[in-house]
A = this chain, B = another copy of it.
Amino acid sequence: MFSIITNMKRILLKIEYDGSRYSGWQKQPERKTIQGEIEDAIFRSIGEKVEVFASGRTDAGVHAFGQTAHFDLNLPVPVSKIPQIINNNLPKDISIIQVKEVEDNFHARFSIKKKTYLYKIYNSSEKNAFIAYRAGWIKEKLNISKMKEISNLLIGQHDFRGFCSSNTATQDFVRTIFDIKIYKKDNYVFIEVCGSGFLYNMVRIIVGTLVDYSLDKINKENVLLALNNGNRNFSGRTMPAEGLYLKETFY
């Protein structure tokens, strides 16, 4: 008798990583990537060569508190043991923090409902060696209420081509932003953007737009032109990857 079909499980991982030493999520030859490290760790710990599908790729230097990714497992490994056995074979800056079995038709990327990114800005005139690779650094004092004012324009369903890097293959630029939270703590400004999905560099450009507006480098008309006419020249700077964290995914 063959039991291949009955043993097959679709497993969803929740993953935390410090992305600063990796060339992003997606596997690439000759490069250290998050996907590559996880697939290697699964092979070393469970003995199966699998492909792991994430909720979305993160770029080089981008971090995650809660990336999610699924893979199919044929061996009868108890689900509860998976985090520990994979973690033991993962580098110390990547950690499986949760695992569960999902339906066969579940897909980490296509089943997603919404996603929250956190952008961490170190807002101080003083250099700080320990924020390097962990936050974007803005020396000039940011004005939180100006940032909130402009963030309100972006909430809702819009064509976000004015907030997207030009090197993208996307045809559909319409996305919904459900919420943008902005708050200050010590020398940091945190910006949380929750949306249906994001275009290439969209969160980093949204944050750069809030920053540039707060510092009077662009005005409200610029932001409206970027939003209504889809012109990238009118939105703000692209903030560096190192301040960006994929915080949570929702299915």
A residues near B (Cβ < 8 Å) are: 16-18, 63, 87, 91-97, 126-130, 132-133, 137
Contacts and interface: CB of A to CB of B under 8 A. Distances in A.
Contacts of A137: 92
A132 B97 contact: no
Contacts of A63: 130
B17 A87 contact: no
11 contacts: A16-B128, A16-B129, A16-B130, A18-B129, A18-B132, A63-B130, A87-B127, A92-B127, A93-B130, A95-B127, A95-B128
A33 to B, nearest CB: 15
A91 B128 CA distance: 11
Ranked 5 nearest A-B pairs via Cβ: A92-B132, A93-B132, A95-B127, A95-B129, A16-B129
A133 B126 CA distance: 23
A132 B94 CA distance: 9
A121 to B, nearest CB: 14
Number of copies of this chain in the oligomer?
A: 2
A93 B133 contact: yes
A87 B128 CA distance: 10
A94 B127 CA distance: 9
A47 to B, nearest CB: 22
Contacts of A128: 16, 95
Contacts of A91: 132
A16 B131 CA distance: 11
